[in-house]
Amino acid sequence: MVAWWNSLSPVAQAWIWGFGKATLILIWGLLNFAVAMMLERKLSAWIQNRVGPWRAGLHGWLQPIPDLLKLFLKEYIEPRNIDKPLFVIAPFIGFVMCLLIWLIIPIGPGAVAMNLDIGIIFIAAITGYDVIMIFMSGWGSNNKYSLLGAMRGAAQMISYEVTLVMSIIGVVMMAGSLRLSDIVDAQAARGPLGWYLLPQIIGFLIYLIASLAELNRAPFDLSEAESELVSGYHTEYSGFRWAVFALTEYIHLVGWSAIAATLFLGGWTGPTHADLAALVGNLVNGFGLFPNGAGTGLIDWANNAAVNMGWFAKWIWGFWWFAFKTYLFVFLAMWIRWTLPRVRIDQLMDLGWKFLLPVSLLNIFLTGILKFVATEYHGVPVNLGFTTLRLLGWWTN
């Protein structure tokens, strides 16, 4: 196998490898769609004292399969006087773009499809295509509601992209790299308290708000506000074209959550079974108060395991922590969606330009100042202010 692989030309290797990765990403995206959609429906049901889908599979958890089948079989309804090329292409542009996000996200140690050194810029770049998707579908539908939704969507996404990138810059400054795997490594070196969640709490909150707006999710789902514009930019879509919009929405949601987990929660890093065993050993030992054979043995075993851990176990743990953190954010987004009302378009713009953008700029300044302080006065005797900094993870040693 290895010999066969090595016998191939580098071009063929790149093609096969790329094709394999693309397939994996597609499958992973669809899987995420199914899970996220079910989670949304079940979470909304639980919040609203309902049970949600109940018939397909155990307690209805296989509902996405009949749903997708149904949407495949449904009729494509096309209104008269639509701009057909735009109308047909629009959903698929978004679908491709939401899958592209997964290219650069490290889902395990070294497990990243394309380790781009401009990772975050790449994300910001492909997000721009979502605006195009929304505007194409809204304009192509020949519907006033769609047009209004498209206008809103374009305005909203363009303004929040700025804020989004600004909120990430703090993280970039701290990690010193745009590459996502570098950011994860930097966080791994700092330990859980040093994950950028706490040092960059302002940036994190702004990222949270701005990514909700970027994803068109409540309370910022203005471009598909179902109580004002019937369904916004995808009012006229039906059948599988509509399903592609739904796919886009949920894959996007998971993608942005994955970015959030990578940037602020340390990505795939997290305690492994060795760390857990060491913790149990320490507990048995009473943290050195009454050392005994069992505890020490466990700690020894843990140290051994940590050193000898194979790449597969590392990947499993990395993937588990990555998925866990990602879905933490997915849960948060859904929880917010089913709690808060929708804002109005002028309030959305006010919030974006007049509040979030200044605060994110302030965050950049603050980060710069603190970083300067932390490097300049390195090794100065500790006083109260520096203790706070250290607690917040600014001071790594």
Stretch that binds another protein, among 49-57, 132-140, 168-176, 310-318 (CB under 8 A): 49-57
Q: What mask of x and - would describe binding to another protein in positions 306 to 335, judged by CB under 8 A? A: -----------------------------x
Q: Which is nearer to another protein, 203 or 270 (CB)?
A: 203
Q: Is 144 in the site for another protein (CB under 8 A)?
A: yes
Q: Which of 101, 93, 80, 86 is nearest to 28 (CA)?
A: 101
Pick one of 221, 224, 236, 249: the residue that binds another protein (CB under 8 A): 221
Q: Which is nearer to another protein, 46 or 377 (CB)?
A: 46
d(CA 224, CA 314): 42
Whether the Cβ atoms of residue 213 and residue 220 lie closer than 8 Å to each other: yes
Q: Is 19 in the site for another protein (CB under 8 A)?
A: no
Give every CB contact of residue 217 below 8 A, 6+ residues apart in sequence: 249, 253, 333, 336, 337
Q: What tokens were used for 284?
A: 């048995």
d(CA 239, CA 253): 22
Q: Is 46 in the site for another protein (CB under 8 A)?
A: yes
Stretch that binds another protein, among 106-114, 214-222, 303-311, 379-387 (CB under 8 A): 214-222
Shortest gap between Cβ of 356 and another protein (angstroms)?
10
Q: Which helix (H) or strand (E) holds 282?
A: helix 273-284
The crossing angle, in degrees rounded to 10, of helices 201-214 and 357-376 is 150
d(CA 338, CA 232): 19
Whether the Cβ atoms of residue 169 and residue 242 lie closer than 8 Å to each other: no
Shortest gap between Cβ of 130 and another protein (angstroms)?
21
Pick one of 174, 247, 343, 357: the residue that binds another protein (CB under 8 A): 343
Pick one of 47, 96, 276, 369: the residue that binds another protein (CB under 8 A): 47
Q: Which is nearer to another protein, 47 or 114 (CB)?
A: 47
Q: Which of 47, 110, 107 is nearest to 259 (CA)?
A: 107
Residue numbers at the binding site for another protein (CB under 8 A) = 43-51, 54, 144-145, 148, 152, 218-219, 221-222, 225-230, 335-336, 338-347, 350, 354-355
